[in-house]
A and B are shown apart, each in its own frame.
Chain A
Amino acid sequence: MAFISLCIAAMLLLGIVGTTRSWLSRAHEVVHGGMALVCGGAALAVLLRLAAGGTEVDVLVLPIGLPWLNASLRLDALSAVFLLAVNLGGCLAAVFGWSYARHEAEPARVLPFFPLFLAGMNLVLVADDAFVFLMAWEFMSLSSWLLVLASHREAETRRAAYVYLVMASFGTACLLLAFGILAGEAGGYGFDAIRAHPPGAVSASFAALLVLLGAGSKAGLVPLHVWLPLAHPAAPSHISALMSGVMTKVAIYGLIRFLFDLVGEPLWWWGGVLAVVGAVTAVVGVLYALMQDDVKKLLAYSTVENIGVIVIGLGLALVFKASGVPALAALAMTAAMLHVLNHALFKCILFFGAGAVLTATGERDLDRLGGLIHRMPATALFCLVGAAAISALPPLNGFVAEWMLFQAVLNGPLLEQWELKIGFAVIGALLALSTALAAACFVRFYGIAFLGRARSPQAEQAREVDTVMLSAIAVPAVLCAVIGVLPKLAISMIEPANRLTTGEGMFDAGGHGGWVWLAPASAFGNSYSGFMMFMTILILTTLAVFMIHRYASNRVRRSIPWACGFTDPAPLGQYSASSFAQPLRRVFADQIFGAREVVDMPAPGETRPARFTLEMRDPAWDRLFTPVVRLVGWVADRVDNLQFLTIRQYLSMMFFALVVLLVMVAVSQ
């Protein structure tokens, strides 16, 4: 605990170094190098703690904060798991940024806020009272807002930052109200006090709803996701990776801390709501991702999808916990938390990869990339691992979480409520759909960006990035493979947090299997072994390669592509990102996004080029936000009249307000 606090203090200090000395060329090295060390140290500390069992709880009360209120910090297993994800991501981002942010046009706009952002996230995870939690939450939001504004000269960025600020304030306001409800009449803002006096069912449900709105807006749950694809790509790539892969996890932590720890006994329908919201988020998020041409926007939308998957897991866990089946709750919870770690890893790979591509080509538009596998072989290899892992392909880590989630869904019939029985089947179908679409999405992403022929001169002249950046991409890629092949390593880390939230560890219920088998007893005795699968694939592939090269023709001739005898010389004749997405758009997305195609075909004889334009709308904007904005404007207009009242009218207004309040007090007494 003391060590983590020291780390947070060191981050704050580095933030100050970033502000005061950013005119010095060394500030860049100091901040990034320092952050790599501090975050790496913090990650290692929690890792050792979790590896050693990790069930102990450390409390630290700092004599700072509001008058008569100390800041209390607490480190338990749940915090530790998320601290691991945050600081691992932070360390990798610092290493990547060391090299990547060197050419930042205005370093003073990034350097101070990068350490502060991480400090804020760390502080949220160790907060033990509502004040510290909310202060840290705001700290995290504001510092990331400033990071989004890093390239403030572009109008689009300013708009993204504005939308982000509005959504962040909305989220914090919801959380503030939720804490108000939880604190109750006694006004105990410490988490211990809240835990000791859980609110009644109605107020707890209100608080849960507010938390879902507050944390959900930060995590990017549909329809509160609209800021995310604007804000995440606007920041520099290593910051995008942090915002997308790590900050959304802090929001997930908020959800878990509230729903599984603070509010006492959960009600089953909270989990149902959570799972449905998660399923919708997953499918809508991946459909959006499939339609994007901007690499970083695509990755941001894919984060929406992954958050959806995690929230499905949380929802299932909550339902099972409320129904008194802790073993199954533990299974779903393990899947959710493993996916938290996984997503932090593969989002780092992919956003860093996008950053590397941006460095090498200056392009973010998929349709201007292509063929990078030849010119950036190492980046391409690691990104392939990332793309395969996020598409949940065995034997990588994404599949392990997916497998456990499916096992949890399969237990739906054990539940009593018929809504849940049917709901689980539908959620399973949506989960499967989102997985399959994610694979399509990343085939499109990888195939268009890295494979084929270069679609622009910039892509043609791309060069591999330096080894510092590459190492920051390589480490998470290796970790993805390791967790996939030996998932128990990661699961044993999560186990104490699981026990804390669901009351049972994943393998408590008499589960079996050694280190290489994943066989939770709560999953009908089904088993999966990434290790065995990996070994078998390795042996069979070696065998196939050996046999073929031993007995078959071994010669290779290079030639122009065949392409049914018609080779077109222009690389733009390849399938583009939009053409790849077109069939899927027609099947799934035309109705949802109201896509409109306009084909402008010149008459015979005219020499102007034919044009094709595609227009898509986000229904969340049209149906939710635009009406809300209009309503706010309307109300503001009405309220505007209040400025022009006479003194008499003001006084009578106050009088009536007082009367109404007194009546309310009288009624409630």
Chain B
Amino acid sequence: MIFVQALLAGVFQVVQMLLVLALAPGLTGLVRVVKARLLGRRGPPLVQPYRDLFRLLRKDVVLAENASWLFRVTPYLVFTAIWLAAALVPTFTTALALTATADLIALVALLASARFFLALAGMDVGTSFGGLGSSREMMIAALAEPAMLMVIFSIAILVRTTSLSLIVDFMLAGGVGLRISLGLALISLLMVAIAENARIPVDNPATHLELTMVHEAMVLEYSGRHLALIEAAGMLKLVLYMALIACIFLPWGISGPGEGPLAILIGLVTFVLKLASGAVLLALFETSIAKMRVFRYGEFLGGALLLSLLGAIFLYVSTGL
């Protein structure tokens, strides 16, 4: 029986990895379509990101003369790290083979490794844009990462674990109810997610305007298959954050270990629905807000950090453990 469960967990793990990979460009495409409609444009078709990726994969790599091996290795490392991180978040089932490998803290650290290498790659070619992007990205991360860890702390205080599967089980079991501190944590996590995914108001994913861009500046020198990997990693990251928020705060529909195929099916359908509604909400948010100046990021993310810290402290006090 245990053997069957382990086998199923392995199968689900592979399904999960393929699922996030397959859905990621679609999610980005959906956000773009909804945004375009909201702005009164027709917008690119939903499948455009898939086409873009395949087009990039077919192209030659144009490598800057000064680029080192680090520049060429980074796309693979970044893609793998984010793919692995996305594989760890329960999307349709909690029975995943890799759950015990890494908890939420390790997941944050995996994202940090991807960022570390991407920032280094930005500085590798030796242009001012790369350094600019890396420097700003690290500044954003320096504030966003602690905020995210504090969110994790709040949840861990409540749930007594940082293992994602156990968090889902606990939330599904009910008994948590509505809590102010969870609300604070959710807001803080949303702010972090916006910053980390280079979305408006922190960064503009559609811009190539030098003065405003952060993420794009960092990957400016990438082309061909390298760029395809970086883009895919970015799309995966968006899925990852949406799945993470869904899994912690809206875990309904996720099936547990040992449940039948119907539960799995429900899990799949609810996950896709969650992603779709997330895309619509993100597009709504992005069209209704303007981008900030770079030096306001500190206040924005400092706010996120403070909210998450407050959430954690409220919980420390109120749970009285």
Q: Which residue of B lies closest to A434 (CB)?
A: B146
A437 near B70: Cβ-Cβ < 8 Å:
no
Which segment, of A70-78, A79-87, A570-578, A609-617, faces chain B?
A570-578
Q: Mark A584-602, 1 if CB is under 8 A from B, else 0.
A: 1011100000000000000
Among A443, A553, A571, A586, which residue has its beta carbon within 8 angstroms of that of B116? A443
**What bracket does the count of chain B residues touching chain A fall in?**
35 or more
Give the residue of B79, B130, B146, B157 whose beta carbon is less than 8 angstroms from that of A575.
B130
Q: Is the interface of A mostly helix, strand, loop or mixed?
A: helix
Give min CB distance, A291 to chain B, whole Å: 13
Contact A557 B138 (CB under 8 A): no
**Inter-chain contacts of B70 with A (CB < 8 A):** 373, 384, 451
Whether the Cβ atoms of B146 and A433 lie closer than 8 Å is yes
Whether B123 contacts A448 by the Cβ 8 Å rule is yes
List, in ascending order, chain B residues with CB within 8 A of A552's CB.
57-58, 225, 228
- Flag whether B281 is at the interface (Cβ < 8 A): no
The answer to whether B100 touches A527, judged by C-beta atoms less than 8 angstroms apart, is yes
Within 8 A of A (CB), among B135-194: 135-136, 138-139, 141-146, 149-150, 153, 156-157, 160-163, 166
A451 and B120 contacting across the interface, CB-CB below 8 Å: yes
Interface string of A521-553 (1 = CB under 8 A from B): 000111111001100110011001100100111
Known: A440-B141, A564-B208, A584-B139. A553 touches B59 (CB 8 A): yes
Question: Does B220 count as interface, using CB distance less than 8 angstroms?
Answer: yes
Are A406's CB and B100's CB within 8 A? no
Specify which chain B residues have a CB less than 8 angstroms from the CB of A561 in the assembled complex.
64-66, 125-127, 221
CB of A558 within 8 A of CB of B65, answer yes
Known A451-B120, A552-B57; contact A583-B64, beta-carbon cutoff 8 A: no
Q: Would you give the 0/1 interface string for B85-120, flagging 1 where the beta carbon is closer than 8 Å to chain A?
A: 000000000000010111101100110110110011
> Is the CB of B83 closer than 8 A to any CB of chain A?
yes
A406 to B148: give the CA distance in the assembly, Å: 13
Report the minimum CB–CB distance from A569 to chain B (whole Å): 11
Is A339 interfacial (CB 8 A cutoff)? no
Q: Are B321 and A562 in contact (CB under 8 A)?
A: no
Structural contact, A447 and B146, CB atoms closer than 8 A: no
Separation in Å of the B232 CB from the closest CB of chain A?
Answer: 10
Size bracket of the A interface:
35 or more
Q: How many A-B residue pairs have CB under 8 A?
A: 284
Contact B128 A574 (CB under 8 A): yes
Of the listed stretches A15-23, A249-257, A304-312, A423-431, name the one at the interface; the rest are far from the partner chain: A423-431
Contacts of A657 in B (CB 8 A): none
| Interchain nearest-CB distance for A8 vs B (Å) | 40
Q: Which residues of B contact A588 (CB under 8 A)?
A: 142
A379 within 8 Å of B by Cβ? no
Q: In whole Å, how far is A303's beta carbon from the nearest beta carbon of chain B?
A: 20
Which one of A51-59, A93-101, A130-138, A385-393 contacts B?
A: A385-393
Subset of 10 A-B contacts with CB under 8 Å: A393-B113, A394-B106, A409-B153, A440-B141, A452-B126, A525-B166, A527-B163, A536-B101, A558-B65, A574-B127
A393-B109, A557-B60, A557-B62 provided; 6 other pairs, C-beta below 8 A?
A394-B109, A425-B309, A433-B146, A526-B162, A558-B65, A562-B221
By a beta-carbon cutoff of 8 Å, the part of chain B in contact with chain A is 57-66, 68-70, 76-77, 79-81, 83-84, 98, 100-103, 105-106, 109-110, 112-113, 115-116, 119-120, 122-132, 134-136, 138-139, 141-146, 149-150, 153, 156-157, 160-163, 166, 208, 210, 220-221, 224-225, 228-229, 294-295, 297-298, 302, 305, 309, 312-313, 315-317, 319, 321
